[in-house]
Amino acid sequence: MASTNDLKNGLVLNLDGQLWAVVEFQHVKPGKGPAFVRTKLKHVLNGKVVDKTFNAGTKVETANVDKRDMQYLYKDGEDFVFMDNDTYDQLYVPGATVGDAANFMLESDQAVVATHDGTPLYVELPTSVELLISYTEPGLQGDRSTGGTKPATLETGAEIQVPLFVVTGTKVKVDTRSGDYLGRVN
């Protein structure tokens, strides 16, 4: 149990048997009436975001979420297999839990896997990764001034938009949160 005064970003709360992560919080002390805490909560499993207000000092139940650095090993059917870097235990994470992170993961990449009572909640990748362009159409000569983009397929199979000058075989930096091209890597 924790007080609403102890809330911080990233803290996971257990409200009515469901897990909610604190995205934002703000302590409000109006001139008239009791203080309260305004929060924005994100459902850990389905990603739904809600606003919730608590009275200041109210007790809320926190969930014990274990975040561990793990190495992605391979895909087994619909599951992704991760290995704990410390204990070498293997954890099978369903594809639905991995979600869009699968577009930017290669075998042997590092990721943070969050679990609650042994159940995988989500997979967190670094904010950017470096991947190879496995295929893209050649850019048209002289079509550089418009700053246009073209589709490119990454070595993971995901498709992103890249500038016209990027060619097949180029290593690029990609934002894992949005899938945006960030630049070439030498």
Task: Flag whether pLDDT at 113 surpasses 80.
Answer: yes
Helical (H) or strand (E) element with 95? helix 95-98
The C-alpha R_g of the chain, in whole angstroms, comes to 21
- Residue 62, burial from CB neighbour count under 10 angstroms (0-12, 13-18, 19+): middle
| CATH of residue 174 | 2.40.50.140
CB 98 within 8 A of CB 104: no
Segment 86-104, tens digit of pLDDT: 999 999 999 888 888 899 9
Residue 28 is part of which domain span? Answer: 2-60
Domains of the chain: total: 3
Task: Flag whether pLDDT at 73 surpasses 80.
Answer: yes
| CATH of residue 38 | 2.30.30.30
Of 10, 39, 60, the one marking the end of a domain is: 60
Segment 122-147, tens digit of pLDDT: 888 999 999 999 999 887 666 555 66
Q: What is the pLDDT of residue 164?
A: 84
**Same domain as 119, residue 76:** yes
**Same domain as 156, residue 119:** no
Mean pLDDT of the chain: 89
b/e map 120-129, b = 16+ CB within 10 Å: bbbbebeeeb
